[in-house]
A and B are shown apart, each in its own frame.
Chain A
């Protein structure tokens, strides 16, 4: 039976990797990911998990070692953040195109410059086209649960894609929360042993990573796109089974007090919990407002998103990332694109904030909501604003 314990989210992620009986972990320390790999090192040092822990000399080598390990048939895990994720960048594409089910916890962090070790989503957004499954967690419990689920999802024969489990730097990673952790036998029953369909082995030689000329590259890309799109149903099936077994239910898109809402606030990650307080406060004042939480970023949950915002007049999208010289926040841009073909769609306004660890308080989310109403009343064209900037 699950037990409730007070534990830091980073430790819980390491615990999840242990419970998943991960076999190889290759990682390089970077703030704010360090507690995950430190905790996992302790678990290995104490013999609590039988795994190879490789202290590589860079994140590029961390994920490269994961490629080799996963291709050889070992269950493989790593974790990184910010600059580390960027250093892995070219390796990310290879992991997905080679269909290697590596699980990686990404403790979201701002990018240099200026140097900043605190949380935002700049690192995650720069990797959105790499072909990984990307799941954004709300809190520590979810970071634990999604790490467990990620192994099931990644290794599903219908999926075979690497998975990033995103947890916000410090706001989630370093917070001690009361959480339900599963017993080993419960996780064993949920995650079957990993069996790569064609691992590197001399008894059955395979060539992995052949190069593709113009005559075949497009087809390879198309095949990968189809596979990633269709993985969504397998992801949902894993979450459904997780919900039945453990009682915590996850869906690609969640709503909060959205039933009759005229304005919806859309957020990914931990700030969606803060925003719930703002929604409650405004509801108390009789405002018809609600919240949409996007959990699955890749593959993008088009249908679930359209369903969630149907009927709303205004959609305020909050991004913890800025696309320089572009349309504002990447989430907002993608949400707009997803709604473009809808006959009746809400006016969409983007708000960028919470950069580099800047806190956003419930009152600020209330102001964002009010601002969303005001922009809609003024008949404003779709726009974006940066919030909390000190002039």
Chain B
């Protein structure tokens, strides 16, 4: 049973499903699992704006739909702006008494490409303006919908079709853009990381985001067996390993205050995570060690922000 450090965790998680089965996601898709959990935690009273991407494509081939809640897809890079428009409409329609007050939570959703690359400007604008909405990034670390091309969220060293390892390349040469930190820099009231391998932690954070007025940013780790070149039954395990190695820490930032929601006494070696995935297969021991050191530094920096005493592991 998952242990969560968050208080008042609702049990059981909302039994109703708002994202219907029958969608076309790949076998073992960790993103659609995260999406389903986010929807359950949000409940029925939402309006969702969704960017172009895997979750949009698998869920809405006309005339079918997997959405049991009001949902709109328009384009790739504008989802936060669409959500901002929805939020403004909700506000004025509530004020004029045309719809019930306080019923609707507005949500914007996109993948890592739609969030950290092409939709970055629209998201930054919407966060800065402080619209009362939740933005959820489902991060599978590359453009998976178009066939595994690198994004700014692709981790260092990973193989994608546009960051292929070769005679003079190790694969992705840049570090993963830190979207939660960028969201924090907008001085919004709530930022948190989510992971479908930790469903109660995920649900509690989504519900917390729902209860806080203003702009909220949630970043959901989304294992992708297709793009990560791994076995389809490894998504949950990879999610756990990402947390346990310190690669994707679970934390929240409320009004600027950092708090780890999954504390670890000791990190597992990053290679436990890397070795299960074909996208890292080409990496030499030297590069793996380089990644280990970077993860250690990043994790220590996070602990410092969260005010956790740093213990020196042997």
Binding site for B on A (CB under 8 A): 23-24, 26, 50-52, 54-58, 60-62, 64-74, 76, 90-91, 94, 98, 200-202, 204-213, 216
Contact = CB atoms under 8 A, between A and B. Distances in A.
A23 B91 CA distance: 10
A236 to B, nearest CB: 30
A52 B86 contact: no
Contacts of B104: 201-202
B88 A52 contact: yes
Given A57-B124, A91-B74, A205-B69, A69 B99 contact: no
Contacts of A209: 60, 72-74
Contacts of B46: 202
Interface of B: 44-47, 49, 56-57, 60-65, 67-75, 77-78, 80-93, 95-96, 98-99, 103-104, 121-122, 124-126, 128-129
Nearest to B125: A57
Contacts of A206: 70-71
| Interface pairs A-B: 9 shortest CB-CB | A68-B85, A65-B85, A57-B125, A64-B78, A72-B89, A61-B81, A64-B81, A209-B73, A74-B89
Given A57-B124, A60-B77, A65 B84 contact: yes
A200 B104 CA distance: 10
Contact of A54 (B49, B60, B84, B99): B84
26 contacts: A52-B88, A52-B92, A55-B129, A58-B121, A60-B77, A61-B78, A61-B81, A61-B125, A65-B81, A65-B85, A67-B72, A68-B81, A68-B86, A69-B85, A71-B72, A76-B89, A202-B44, A202-B46, A202-B47, A202-B69, A207-B60, A210-B60, A210-B63, A211-B57, A211-B62, A216-B63
B127 to A, nearest CB: 10
A78 to B, nearest CB: 10
Given A61-B122, A64-B78, A72-B93, 14 more contacts: A57-B128, A58-B125, A64-B74, A64-B85, A65-B88, A67-B74, A67-B78, A70-B85, A73-B93, A200-B47, A200-B71, A201-B70, A202-B47, A209-B74
B138 to A, nearest CB: 18
Contact of B62 (A26, A68, A73, A212): A212
A90 B103 CA distance: 32
A50 B92 contact: yes
A213 B74 contact: no
B86 A64 contact: no
B54 to A, nearest CB: 12
B82 A64 contact: yes
A66 B85 contact: yes
A307 to B, nearest CB: 39
A7 B128 CA distance: 35
A208 B91 CA distance: 21
Given A56-B125, A73-B89, A200-B72, A61 B84 contact: yes
Nearest to A215: B62
Nearest to A200: B70
B72 to A, nearest CB: 4
Contacts of B68: 205
A72 to B, nearest CB: 4
Contacts of A212: 62
A352 B74 CA distance: 37
B123 to A, nearest CB: 10
A219 B190 CA distance: 45
A98 B73 CA distance: 10
A121 B225 CA distance: 51
A271 to B, nearest CB: 35
Nearest to A24: B88
Contact of A65 (B64, B75, B82, B128): B82
A162 to B, nearest CB: 13
Contacts of A201: 47, 70, 99, 104
A202 B45 contact: yes
A61 B49 CA distance: 14
B89 to A, nearest CB: 4
A50 B95 contact: yes
A24 B92 contact: yes
B74 A207 contact: no
Given A206-B70, A211-B60, A67 B45 contact: no
A62 B78 CA distance: 10
A94 B78 CA distance: 12
Given A50-B96, A202-B47, A69 B71 contact: no
Nearest to A95: B74
A180 to B, nearest CB: 29
Contacts of B83: 68
Nearest to A193: B98
A304 B95 CA distance: 45
A221 to B, nearest CB: 13
Contacts of B56: 211
A52 B121 contact: no
Nearest to A217: B62
Contacts of A26: 81, 84-85, 88
A332 to B, nearest CB: 33
Contacts of B61: 210-211, 213
Interface centre among A68, A202, A209 (most CB of B within 10 A): A68
Nearest to A202: B45
Contacts of A210: 60-65, 73
A72 B47 CA distance: 9
Contact of B82 (A51, A57, A67, A211): A67
Given A50-B96, A210-B65, A60 B78 contact: yes
B92 A51 contact: yes
A10 to B, nearest CB: 23
Contacts of A66: 85
Contacts of A205: 67-71
Nearest to B60: A210
